[in-house]
Structure 1
Amino acid sequence: MAIDHVGSDRKDSAFQKQKGALKTSRIPIRIQPAEKLPKPPWIRVKAGSYNSHFSEVKKLIASHKLVTVCDEASCPNRGECYGNGTAAFMIMGDKCTRRCPFCDVAHGRPDPPDENEPEKLAETVALLGLSYVVLTSVNRDDLKDGGASHFVDCLKAIRAVSPETRVEILTPDFKGRMDKALDLLCAFPPDIFNHNLETVPRLYLQARPGADYDFSLKLLKEFGNRCPRIPTKSGLMVGLGETDEEIVQVMEDLRAHHVSMLTIGQYLMPSRDHLPVLRYVSLEAFEKLEKIAHKMGFAHAAIGPLVRSSYHADLQAKKAGMK
């Protein structure tokens, strides 16, 4: 499917990847330095071993010139996931049109989507023998459909080669393009539709400049209305300055918009140029949130310090009832 690309007359310098201070220098609310908090003992991750499946997965992804959110967002779990032969693929490049200061993905004017990416992705999924795949992407505000058609192309390519593979998509908000994006996605839907709210509405201008809390909720609800048999899912971070009460309110908002799957994890600052960690949530507090989530009626809630949207996503889906 052809993708319309707009605004192609900018200078080549705009294509450069901007990370760290260069990325966060132009956001609405300046990052305020804070005392670095010591990491509690429950924040521990395993580094990938080059004697494990880690190296094989890394080489295969690199050989097909694919991108994973595991690497681009500096996910703390990538060693374990690669070691287990799994990955969350980030399609449509590694440069985002937005500058979220919690995220380690680079900002910049993205390159046109690679028309061969769906086939390369499908081949990689088949070679790895994956039964469950997560596809996500950078924000593509430069595309007239927000990149929805490329998601569909990737879905079709994977299912053509690996028809038994389940595919979850973790999408941007398609702001200003929601109707067109949902027309495309609901014509060829994934097995799970995921869109992360990330944080509480009070912190949106600071943490998610360019995004809108109510719009993200509307996207989740509208997809669910159009594709009622497909579970919807969302994720949150804690540690950015929110309160537990605000998190519970967001959980209530998600249930009111018929979202059935939830992830909540601890925010970890990618670098000193990103938003600081303002608190480390205790294990007891995570357990309390998990109990609240189950009482609210979420089909599945993965809640804990190192939980991320795509971390053990296959197990999350099974526990939510997917066969």
Structure 2
Amino acid sequence: MVTIIDTVSNKADTVSKVVAKPRHPEKAHRPDNPIQRKPDWIRVKAPGSKAYKETLDIVRGNKLVTVCEEAGCPNMGECWSHKHASFMIMGEICTRACAFCNVSTGMPNALDPNEPENTGRAVAQMGLKHVVITSVDRDDLEDGGAQHFADVILAIRDASPETTIEVLTPDFLRKEGALETVVAAKPDVFNHNLETVPSNYLKVRPGARYFHSIRLLQRVKELDPTMFTKSGIMVGLGEERNEVLQLMDDLRVADVDFLTIGQYLQPSKKHHPVIKFVTPQEFKGYETIAYTKGFLMVSANPLTRSSHHAGEDFEKLKAARRAKLGQ
């Protein structure tokens, strides 16, 4: 018997033999980047509660994929213990190979026509007040998966009418009309992450274009001025402080409401290295500056992720808008 340690979850599984199948074969040619020891302020509890198991059973029973698992989110134990999960639609294989991402790259399978209904049912079974729906990049599809996003939104509305819906979409690069399809389905929050500052794009997010992503977020507000918009970045990838501040300005020009900033954590030796572990004090400084620039809501700390506490943050976001309008 051999014990294998998962580098993301740090869980040990005992198996009868070793299967030599790396999670990220597309990254095999990249040089090894040793994984640094995490500082004391980045510590999470291992999952294991009854509610965690119930969430897992609902996800598996509906044949769904979660970004919590695929991205190796450090908050998975906490969220699932409260029956909160973020669903990743359109499969678990991405058409891009971002240097920071723990999702596998390759040629995706065909879309599952039952996924919208299954997602709606899972949301209802979990009794979610707020749900986050994200996806892999599907550059292979004519619309980048926009209609599938819309179908999932409509299925959730049908199965759980009181649930508010947040989408975290790809950039729909060169997919004319895709953004309009998603916005027309009326999610409550439209999120698209910039991920990092523009100087890092060629090495960290080579398939994307920084100013296209800014324009995507700006276009959402043009299509529906009442829709909340949101974006997030990781720090610790080698960015300079002044670059982060300029990124904030770019997002405010696009009238983005909500900014998230979290610490980049390296999934494996083949991924981009952590250049710096940003201190909680530095995160607090970013939060203070972001509020002065006009964001309605800011979440900035080492364990911040786009969907972490998304439901609670949505309530705060609505309250902030009401306060701004004097209501």
Please report the TM-score for the alignment, with normalisation by the length of structure 2. 0.89
Query: How big is each residue's C-alpha offset from its partner over 1:209-238, in whole Å with a ceiling of 9 and x where there is no partner?
Result: 110001000100011111110011000000
RMSD: 1.5
Residue identity in the other structure for 1:71? E
Counterparts of 1:73-112 in structure 2, within 5 Å, are: 73-112=71-110
Aligned length: 300
Q: Distance in 2 between matches of 1:202 and 1:218?
A: 17
Which residue of 100, 125, 128 maps to 1:127?
A: 125
Partners of 2:193 and 2:290 in 1: how far apart?
Answer: 16
- Residue 277 of structure 1: how far off its partner (Å): 0.5
TM-superposed CA distance for 1:318, in Å, is 1.2
SS in 2 for 1:320: helix
The structural deviation recorded for 1:80 is: 0.6
- For structure 1, the 5+ residue unaligned runs are 1-16
Give yes or no for contact 1:37–1:278 (8 Å, CA) kept in 2: no
3-state SS in 1 of match to 2:134: strand
Do the aligned partners of 2:132 and 2:168 also contact (CA within 8 Å) in 1? yes
CA distance in 1, matches of 2:98, 2:167: 20
Map of 1:69 onto structure 2: 67
Q: Deviations over 1:54-110 (max 9, x none)?
A: 111111101111000000011111011111100000000000000011000011111
Report the equivalent of 2:214: 217
- Superposed, which structure 2 residues align to 1:246-285 within 5 Å? 246-285=243-282
Q: Displaced runs of 4+ in structure 1, greater than 4 A? A: none
Given residue 315 of structure 2, which amino acid in structure 1 is its aligned partner?
K
1:40-51 equivalence runs, <5 A: 40-49=39-48, 51=49
Q: Identify if the C-alpha distance between structure 1 residues 31 and 202 changes in structure 2 by more than 3 Å, giving closer, same or farther.
A: farther
- Structure 1 counterpart of 2:7: none
Give me the whole-angstrom Cα distance separating, in 1, the residues matched to 2:180 and 2:261: 29
Q: How does 1:287-302 map to 2 (within 5 A)?
A: 287-302=284-299
**What residue identity is the alignment partner of 1:254?**
L
The residue that corresponds to 2:6 in the other structure is: none
Could you tell me how far 1:32 is from its partner in structure 2?
7.0
The one-letter code matched in structure 2 to 1:73 is A
Name the counterpart of 1:23: 26
**What do residues 235-264 of structure 1 show as CA deviations (whole Å, max 9, x unaligned)?**
000011111111111111100111110000
Q: Match of 1:185? A: 182
Distance in 1 between the 2:179 and 2:145 partners? 11
Structure 1 position 46, deviation (Å): 1.3
Q: In structure 1, the residue corresponding to 2:230 is in which secondary structure?
A: strand
- Contiguous gaps of at least 5 residues in structure 2: 1-20, 323-327
Q: 1:205 to 1:32 in 2, by over 3 A?
A: farther
Return the letter of the residue paired with 2:62: H
Change beyond 3 A, Cα 1:104–1:154: same
Give CA-to-partner distance per residue, 1:136-182, whole Å, 9 cap, x none: 000000111110100000000000111110000000000001x4112
Q: Classify the secondary structure of the residue corresponding to 1:172.
A: coil
Cα deviation, residue 315, structure 1: 1.3
Match of 1:304 among 289, 294, 301: 301
Which residue identity is paired with 2:253?
A
Deviation track 1:169-198 (CA, whole Å, cap 9, x = no partner) reads 000000001x41122123222000000000
Which TM-score applies when normalising by structure 1? 0.90
Instruction: Check if 1:314 corresponds to 2:311.
Output: yes
SS state at 1:175 partner: coil
Q: Which residue of 1 aligns with 2:36?
A: 37
| Equivalent residue letter for 1:23 | E
Aligned equivalent of 2:9: none
Choose the corresponding residue for 1:157, options 137, 155, 159. Answer: 155
Q: Describe the shift of the 1:128–1:206 C-alpha distance in structure 2 as closer, same or farther (beyond 3 A).
A: same
CA-CA distance at 1:36 after TM superposition: 4.5
Give the equivalent residue in structure 1 for 2:13: none
Residues 92 and 113 of structure 1 are in contact (CA less than 8 Å); yes or no, is this contact kept in structure 2? yes
Matches of 1:126 and 1:98, distance apart in 2: 32
In structure 1, what is the Cα distance between the partners aligned to 2:138 and 2:22?
16
Contact preservation (8 Å) 1:19, 1:107: no
| Percent of pairs with identical residues | 49
C-alpha distance in structure 2 between counterparts of 1:189 and 1:130, whole Å: 18
Q: CA deviation at 1:31?
A: 5.3
| Cα distance between partner residues in 2 of 1:31 and 1:307 | 28
Alignment of 1:165-244 (within 5 A): 165-177=163-175, 179-244=176-241
